[in-house]
Amino acid sequence: MHSLSRDASSERCSSAASTMSTPELVEGSVVNNEWIVERFLNDSVLLVKSKPNPSVFATMIVEPWSRPELEVLRYDIYVLRLMQNSQFVSKIFASGSIPGYNFMITSMHSQNLDALRLSMPSKRFTTGTSLRIALHAMNAMADLHNAGFVHRNVKPSAFCFGASASTRRTLLLTDFSLVRQYVVTPESRTSELRRARERVVFRGCPRYCSVNVHRLHEHSRHDDLTSVLYMAVEMITGALPWDKAAKKGVGAMKNEMTPEKQFENCPVELVDLYKHLMSMSYYESPDYSKFSQGIMKALNAKKIDLEDPYDWEEGGRYFYYKIKAQREQEQMQQAPNNQSMVTAKSQMSTASSDHEIYIPEVSDVNTLGPASNSLKAQI
């Protein structure tokens, strides 16, 4: 018997828990006569495998009908289906309803960026890895914006790398909990924007949001990109300048700090990009090519190639540290009295490494055309 709730990371600014018992959804249950439940990774995320092809593993997210205030999965599915041609989101294999729940089955991903950074010995990434992750995140935002939505909650825990051999170097946007439609009709691919509200309720995480969001202005596309820059600061330096400030004082600190101080010990190109974004209005479309060119300039200055190993990959700075940590974790899991310490992250990692995960081709549900060269850098 399990209680189900929507998954929430440590950084999520709002969360809720479900107390619904679920005797009918257990290990071995078959969903839609196609997917078999292998095990629960946490209260709302399950590891499943394909019934016709047992070598295919996937992630199943469930949302109970008993908590209508939590009903956001349908909107997640709606947004994801509009983005299925983007390489920066998980692929949907199935979605719908079963007795008691809404559900979605997607391709698997590994641990989120925040957990990955904290697993590094210095709690940060090298500049080369950080900048390339920021470039991926910017491209993910370009695809989301091109689909007609702003994210409003850009943060490291909203991104994960893929778990298959073909996606392990691809950054995936996985959290759509606060996404808002900013165009009138996303399906029509028109550029007509919804009118900006004069004042809005605060949405997002104070650590990563822009000054405009702290001022309760309508969240815009350039605010999402500002959050990507703050992610880059944390990845490069291991912290943000306002980490020790009270939550209510973060906005004031950002407002008072010069851009140079906010991006201290970071490539100067990030300062230039920040100043450009801060000069934009809600109705202006960001110049994504300018953003990618700025990051590429910083990478070239450090002689970093896009295909260079990431810090945790073989050839990366922290590869051997990561291997040692994984072996120590495996030894702990094998100890007779430590089986209860197995976490959802380690379970997913084990599932990924024990089997070659096959990712099927995306079906005709795809609606988002390939982004233009002006929107995306070549990764």
Find the CATH number of the domain harbouring 217.
1.10.510.10
Q: Is residue 355 a part of any domain in this protein?
A: no
In CATH, what number is assigned to the domain containing residue 64? 3.30.200.20
Question: What does the pLDDT profile of the chain (379 residues) look like in tens digits?
Answer: 333 333 333 333 333 333 334 447 888 999 988 999 999 998 889 999 999 999 999 999 998 887 665 568 888 999 999 999 999 999 999 999 888 888 999 999 999 999 999 999 999 999 999 999 999 999 999 999 999 999 999 999 999 999 998 999 999 999 998 999 999 877 666 678 999 998 899 988 999 999 999 999 999 999 999 999 999 999 999 999 999 999 889 999 999 999 999 999 999 999 999 999 999 999 999 999 999 999 999 999 999 999 999 999 999 998 888 777 777 777 777 765 554 444 444 444 333 333 333 333 333 333 343 343 334 443 3
Residue type, 188: S
Assess whether 40 and 186 both reside in one domain: no
Q: Which residue has the tokens 């691809």?
A: 170
Assess whether 101 and 239 both reside in one domain: no
Q: Which residue has the tokens 């973060």?
A: 250
| Length of the chain counted residue by residue | 379
Strand duo 45-50 + 109-112: pairing: unpaired
Strand duo 109-112 + 149-150: pairing: unpaired
Phi-psi region of 352 (alpha: psi -120 to 50; beta: other; left: phi over 0): alpha
Assess whether 275 and 168 both reside in one domain: yes
Classified as helix, coil or strand, 26 is coil
Return the bridge partners of 36, or none: 30, 49
User: Which of these, 266, 317, 318, lies nearest to 295 by C-alpha position?
Assistant: 266
Q: What is the CA radius of gyration of the chain?
A: 21
Q: Is residue 274 a part of any domain in this protein?
A: yes
Return the bridge partners of 3, or none: 21
User: Which of these, 59, 165, 154, 58, lies nearest to 114 by C-alpha position?
Assistant: 154
Assess whether 172 and 291 both reside in one domain: yes
**Last-in-domain residue among 302, 334, 367:** 302
Assess whether 94 and 164 both reside in one domain: no
Assess whether 249 and 228 both reside in one domain: yes
**Last-in-domain residue among 283, 302, 321:** 302
Containing domain of residue 80, as a range?
36-107
Q: Is residue 69 a part of any domain in this protein?
A: yes
CB 1 within 8 A of CB 22: yes
φ and ψ at residue 236, rounded to 5 degrees: -75, -45
User: Does the pTM of the predicted model rise above 0.95?
Assistant: no
Classified as helix, coil or strand, 98 is strand
Assess whether 56 and 171 both reside in one domain: no
Q: Is residue 22 a part of any domain in this protein?
A: no
CB 98 within 8 A of CB 37: no
Task: Report the Cα 71 to chain-centroid distance in Å.
Answer: 20
Assess whether 169 and 297 both reside in one domain: yes
The domain tally of the chain equals 2
Kindly compute the dihedral angle of the four CA atoms of residues 36, 87, 187, 224, in this order, to the nearest 10 degrees.
110
